[in-house]
Amino acid sequence: MQRYFLQDMLDKQCIVFEDEHYHHIVRVMRMKVGDRVYVVLPDESTVVVELSEITESCVRTKWIEDVLISSEMPIQVTVALGIPKGDKLDWVVQKTTELGAFAIQPFESDWSVVKWDFKKKEKKKERLQKIAREAAEQSHRSHVPIVHDVLSFQKLLHTFSQYTHVLVAYEESAKTQEKQQFRQIISTLNPKDKVLIIFGSEGGLSDSEIKQLVDKQAILCGLGPRIMRAETAPMYVLAACSYELELR
């Protein structure tokens, strides 16, 4: 069943689709009166509605039921990623949304090959947010991950107080046979914990960055014996969180 996110809070008994949603329902999906869709309200509650009337400019609906089962991860995982090359950030936003990320926080790191074009930042952010929304619709989520503005590494450090746990995916930790840190932390998380997990870009994190992270009490974690690309490691972490917290 198709799923639509509403920007404005409407009475769930009489939700009306216009503009973009109207176009999608009537022109793209060619739905008819009697068809049902999920609607996610701005408070992230989800309802099922049935199309009751289709006019030239809007679709009226009637409320059928509230959806009480949540598809959201019990913890909030924010993925902080050194800006990767090419369109990889698009891809990371899509995949981490499917896998349950709460937010995505790109940052500029010493070894990012790419420098962020701040002139185009509004346009880029808009596109990334659209990718997140579409992936959230597809994966039946009620929360659309927030794609934050790109931060400098120093500013990233200043966000740590917003989180209950700050972890760093660090290859060198895996090499030194440290393999239990990540699991020990993930397996003891509580619902509503806010976890920030930091990943380097393709070039990894510099020694200076690692030192500053450790000074700020971030915990270095190995993610197993294989070396993953920058864009793959966040998926490993989110899948592991889901396995640990949602499948038990």
Q: Answer yes or no: are the C-beta atoms of 15 and 63 closer than 8 Å.
A: yes
Q: Which is nearer to its own copies, 108 or 231 (by Cβ)?
A: 231
Residue at token pair 């701005």: 42
Distance of alpha carbon 217 from alpha carbon 7, whole angstroms: 38
With respect to its own copies, which residue has the nearer C-beta, 71 or 129?
71
Q: How far is the CB of 93 from its own copies (least distance, A)?
A: 13
Q: Which long-range contacts (CB under 8 A, 24 or more apart) does 225-231 make?
A: 225/174, 225/179, 227/171, 229/202, 230/81, 230/82, 230/84, 230/88, 230/199, 230/200, 230/201, 230/202, 231/84, 231/88, 231/91, 231/92, 231/95
146 vs 227 by CB, closer to its own copies: 227
Binding site for its own copies (CB under 8 A): 69-72, 95, 98-100, 138-141, 177, 179-180, 182-183, 222-229, 232, 235-237, 239-240, 242-244, 246-248
Q: Pick between residue 42 and residue 224 the one whose CB is nearest to its own copies.
A: 224
Q: Which amino acid is at 119?
A: K
Minimum distance of its own copies from residue 231's CB (angstroms)? 9
Q: How far is the CB of 152 from its own copies (least distance, A)?
A: 29
State the minimum distance, in angstroms, from the CB of residue 125 to its own copies.
23
